[in-house]
Structure 1
Amino acid sequence: MIATLLQMIILCYYTYYRALGISGHHKTEKELRELASSQEEFLEQRKIKILPLLKELKQWLAKKSLTVRDSSRTGEAISYALGQWSKIMKYIDCTQLTPDNNGAENAIRPFVVGRKNWLFSGSPKGAEASCFYYSLIEIAKQNGLNPHLYLAYIFNQVPLITDKTEWKNFCLGTVKIMFNLIY
């Protein structure tokens, strides 16, 4: 259901930009990443160029929410997008976030191609476990880490965690710093 709602949000997003004749959000994002000399400069430029587009999108969604039935798929998508707006806006302040999930889609493509081989995970819990491990492996690859060493580090450290506050040490940035020091 959530995937369908997200697809509807994307549809609304592209409909909005086509209706206004605005294009190139991804192109602008790519140019900003290539031209910025630092993360601070990138975020500053992103706020200048992308924030107005997001504000327009929110206004458009709010306006459309008044004319679309809430019970329709589009109405559900619009309501969901507006309800998640504070999370959407975090994109503006984080250099690691992108306007789409193409990186994740490309990362899982090898697993999707071989999915027939994994139909026999044994159970839904087995499939969940596979998903968890594949996610860890792709996170390691995406951040330039050796997946084998990364998993070994995590599996050696997790049993040592005694309370919830220690989990923050497994934020990938912290793990990457520790990993580089240890290995």
Structure 2
Amino acid sequence: MHKPCTYARVKYVTTEARSVPNKRDIILEATIRVLRERGLSGLKVEEVARQAEVGKGTVYLYFEDKQDLLKALVEYHTQRFYADAAEITASERPFRERLERLLARRLAFVDEWRGLWAAVAREANPKGQKAWLTGLHQHYQGILERFVASGVASGELRPDLDVELTAAALAAFGCSPQLDFPREPYIQQLAEVFMKGVCA
């Protein structure tokens, strides 16, 4: 007997989905608002649709299910942060000034998630979470390595620094969402501590 054929599920982007280029971003922004208000356990596609002012069916034009939505959300916000980080660190400003601006943007990114990052990432890609997040982080690591290398090249940082390890240390620096310090003094203190370790 012939076994019935099985076909891989293919996700098609319809003409309607392509005709509204910003709709996907609107849905993702609505998703983060719902997460902040209700937490991961309270995230419902119906509520996302309501806040995005679209029909529930429109959400499914862009995302197969809630897991697909969460994965896209992590990638969307992470890539926006990385784009900002790349722009900040590639500017012609002094290293210390770029560092403070980068730390401010990093803390704003942490604030956006309000402690939800780990839970959302686990839910978004439970089987391949480590490899997926490592892939995302490698891009940020590259941005920071170029940033550190630019400081070494300009003479603002010590020439004996290990660029890769210094960038990795900077990536982990100042991420304390549970602590509520005044923002500007905190950023300046973080920058001061970091610069004391790396200055030429």
TM-score (norm 1): 0.28
